Amino acid sequence: MKIGYSDFVKLCRVNDPETWCDWFVIRGDGVYVKEPPAGLTAGERAILSEHPTGNLNEPALGFPCALADLQEFLEQQGVYGCIDAFDLAKWVLEQPHINAPFSRADVSDKLAKMNHASRKFWSNADRDDRGTHPDNATVASWLVKMGFSPTLADKAATIIRPEWAPTGRKPEE
């Protein structure tokens, strides 16, 4: 699972890439250590310019990066708390390849999108509460937005519906 620029700014809640953190700037290819300001002692400049490779022209964390690399980087920099655990969990669940039993190279785009839809619409459904069950039309509409034809989207919504989920209209209360 790789973290790109857009994932980083979303997960780390970066409103302004220049001011997200006093000692870093976020660019399209990674997180860079800022040049220390003038007027510091040599010791202060050395501390503020610490970099994994020693080269301030390279990102201290390059994009895309592995989730484990992001975690290690944020912990080392003392900014790990910038990521909300629930936002991270949601992001992980939204990844189309999570929990895939085989390589993504072996899966068609349509099947990956169906798996994504299954997790998106059914992962929080309560078996005993039909009110939490999405209707097939809602699922099919999302699949159409993901590039499915309406006919294929209807069939895919039926296929991904768990066996324990009743079909038909929800009972009126």
In this structure, the strands spanning 2-3 and 61-62 are unpaired
Percent of all residues in the chain with a pLDDT value above 70, rounded to a whole number: 91
Instruction: Give phi and psi for 32, each to the nearest 5.
Output: -110, 145
Confidence of residue 103 (pLDDT cuts 50, 70, 90): low
In this prediction, residue 97 carries a pLDDT of 61
pLDDT single digits (tens) 123-133: 888 888 888 99
Mean pLDDT score of the chain? 86
Cis link prior to 171 (omega < 30° from 0)?
no
**pLDDT at residue 99 above 80?**
no
Using the predicted structure, report yes or no on whether residue 100 has a pLDDT greater than 70.
Answer: no
What is the predicted pLDDT for the residue at 169?
64
What's the pTM value of the predicted model, to 2 decimals?
Answer: 0.53
The pLDDT confidence band at residue 171, using thresholds 50, 70 and 90, is: low
Q: What is the pLDDT of residue 165?
A: 86
Asked if pLDDT for residue 150 goes beyond 90, the answer is yes
Tokens of 107: 């899966």
Q: What is the pLDDT of residues 28-87, one digit of tens each?
A: 999 999 888 889 999 988 888 888 888 889 999 999 998 889 988 888 888 877 888 888
Could you give the CA distance from residue 26 to residue 34 in angstroms, rounded to a whole number? 10
Higher per-residue confidence, 21 vs 62? 62
